[in-house]
Amino acid sequence: MNKLWDKGYDEDARIDRFTVGKDREMDLPLAPYDILGTLAHVTMLQSVGLLSEDELKVLLPELKALYKEAADGHFEIEGDVEDVHSQVELMLTRKLGPVGKKVHTGRSRNDQVLVDIKMFARAEIEKTVGKVKTLFDTLQKSSEEYKDVIIPGYTHMQVAMPSSFGLWFGAYAESLADDMLMMLAAWQIVNQNPLGSAAGYGSSAPLDRTLTTKLLGFDDLDYNVVYAQMGRGKMERAVAMAYSSVAETIGKLAMDTCLFASQNFGFIELPASMTTGSSIMPHKKNPDVFELVRAHCNKILGTENQIRLITANLPSGYSRDFQLIKEIFNPIFGEMDDVLDIVVYAVSNMKVKRDVMEDAKYKAAYSVEEVNDLVRSGLPFRDAYRKVGQEILDGSFEYHGSLHHTHEGSIGNLCNDRIAAKMDRVLSGFSFGRVSAAISRLLG
């Protein structure tokens, strides 16, 4: 097997299979980022005199060609090659000879995988944030469209007070704005450069880590080389926590939708094309989409804890345990993006019932409105409360008033424009544009 650490002795094939595990499969999505990291690294090596200008001139076009191959999905890790780092170096050496063997100067696979995963996570976070914004806009649009459609609100799963579809859709939109605060914090942890920390103790080579930070578009450095290695697992947990926050919001929306679409509630109608039937009960229209969304979200919620259980009792410095994190961490991005796409589609196509509150069983939801009307007429609150309570007990309660909620965030004053401004403030904190410009310059 082609291994960067080969010392000439024979390997045990059984041990090799176990230690390599799923690394080749998990490394394929990292290939473009490994090549970008190498582009920045060799540019830096030339600037500090560890590569000649002529050597850099042959390395750069070859690396850019490899990047295009990887970005187009044509990069492969050969069966006898251990990982993506080994494959890139092997391909350079085959094509360029001895100069290909120089690209590892001042690096370890430890800081290579750190920078690869961080750049991979950066790109995936940018995609996810865009999809969250699309869902946010969809929810806000529905909130405005149905802001005058009243439904019962619930506490303890009991009918409580009047709510509205405007409030319901808008609540999930604002929840996503707060979720993006978590995502922004994760982004700020991700967007720090670990390259140059080598195996966790730096290098005697005169590396310019500030230059590679600029070339790769990172906001800052992981300065302490020991901490850069300690950040493995911690960074992934931070990202998983942010994704869990989004998942929790969407999972709750899915649960509400399953309830509201059931016959016992009947607030929402899902188009037949968005439901599935029963093999035995001809009347069934099951909300399988939202049930699966709920399950996917619960699965994402477990990611952070799985990573923590792998890393919690490890000492400082690299341990091979970290290899398994990729198997847990890498899939959450595609899973979350699929969930976001289908929820946008489903929310856009669901129909709401406009006459929900005409059902007599929701009459008591207006009891607080009646109490407040009596208070405004001069009756003390506790007397008004008892009066209305007695009417409900003896079955004589009626409410003939109209809803008049005016404070910020209530039925009559949703403040969707302010919630949108809140989301925009958070999104402005992501340095996506600067990262994209840096990578374009590096590839240009």
143 and 117 co-located in one domain: yes
| 2 located within any domain | no
- Pick from 75, 102, 129: which residue ends a domain? 102
Q: Which carries the bigger pLDDT value, residue 9 or residue 242?
A: 242
Query: Do 134 and 282 share a domain, yes or no?
Result: yes
Q: Do 290 and 208 share a structural domain?
A: yes
pLDDT of residue 3: 55
Whether residue 138 lies inside any domain: the answer is yes
Q: What is the pLDDT of residue 285?
A: 84
- Inside any domain, residue 330: yes
**CATH number for the domain that contains residue 208:** 1.20.200.10
CA 178 remoteness from chain centre: 13
pLDDT on residue 401:
82
Q: What per-residue string of b and e applies to 319-340 under the rule 16 or more CB within 10 Å gives b?
A: eeebbbbbebbbebbebbbebb
| pLDDT in the model for residue 5 | 46
Please write the tens of the pLDDT for every residue from 274-318. Answer: 878 767 887 878 889 999 999 999 999 999 999 999 998 889 988
Given the structure tokens 């070859």, which residue do they identify?
Answer: 62
| Statement to judge: residues 216 and 334 lie in one domain | yes
- Statement to judge: residues 140 and 95 lie in one domain: no
- Give which of 161, 17, 18, 4 is closest to 86, Cα–Cα: 4
Average pLDDT over residues 29-57: 97
Residue 440 lies in a domain: no
Structure token digits, residue 397:
């309660």
- At 267, the pLDDT band (50, 70, 90 cuts) reads very high
Stronger pLDDT, 45 or 19, i.e. the higher one? 45
Mean pLDDT of 353-365: 93
Closest of 247, 420, 256 to residue 340, by C-alpha:
247
Does position 166 have pLDDT exceeding 90, yes or no? yes
Residue 39, domain member (yes or no): yes
Amino acid at 409: G
pLDDT value of position 350: 94
Residue 115 lies in a domain: yes
What is the mean pLDDT of the segment spanning 214-237?
Answer: 96
Pick the last residue of a domain from 68, 102, 136: 102
Percent pLDDT > 70 in the chain is: 95
Which whole number is the average pLDDT over 105-109? 94
Instruction: Let me know if residue 422 belongs to a domain.
Output: no
Instruction: State the pLDDT at residue 366.
Output: 93
351-352 vs 268-269, strand pairing mode: antiparallel
Is 417 contained in some domain?
A: no
How does pLDDT run across 15-40, given as a tens digit for each residue? 767 766 666 777 889 999 999 999 99
Which CATH number is 79's domain given?
1.10.275.10
Range in 38-52, 101-115, 394-408, 409-423 with the lowest mean pLDDT = 394-408
Q: Is the same domain home to 371 and 299? A: no
Instruction: Please check the confidence at residue 78 and state whether its pLDDT lies above 70.
Output: yes
Confidence grade of residue 388 (pLDDT, cut at 50, 70, 90): very high
In order of 76, 141, 172, 300, the CA distances from 254 in angstroms are 39, 18, 11, 14
The residues, ordered by sequence, that sit 6+ positions from 195 with a Cβ below 8 Å of its Cβ are 37, 40, 41, 107, 111, 112, 114, 115, 209, 212, 213, 216
Asked if 254 and 173 count as a contact pair (C-beta separation under 8 A), the reply is no
Residues 191 and 93 in one domain: no
Asked if pLDDT for residue 13 goes beyond 90, the answer is no
Q: Quote the domain boundaries for residue 253.
A: 109-354
Domain end: 330, 354, 378, which one? 354
What integer is the mean pLDDT of 338-345?
97
Same domain, 189 and 93: no
Can you tell me the mean pLDDT for 249-277? Answer: 92
**Shared domain check, 290 and 217:** yes
Model pLDDT, residue 4: 52
Q: Where are the alpha helices (DSSP H) in 48-108?
A: 53-71, 84-96
* pLDDT of the residue at 2: 52
Structural domains in the chain (count): 3
Q: Is residue 165 domain-shared with residue 308, that is, in the same domain?
A: yes
Mean pLDDT of the 370-398 span: 94
Query: What's the pLDDT at 284?
Result: 76
Q: Are residues 225 and 332 in the same domain?
A: yes
For residue 33 the two structure tokens come to 């980022």
Q: State whether the Cα torsion 271-277-282-285 is positive or negative.
A: negative
Same domain, 145 and 192: yes
In this prediction, residue 273 has a pLDDT band, given cuts at 50, 70 and 90, of confident
Q: What is the pLDDT of residues 146-157, one digit of tens each?
A: 999 999 999 999
Q: Alpha helices, DSSP H only, in 302-412?
A: 303-311, 325-329, 331-349, 367-376, 381-394
Mean pLDDT across 367-395: 94
The answer to whether residue 392 scores a pLDDT higher than 90 is: yes
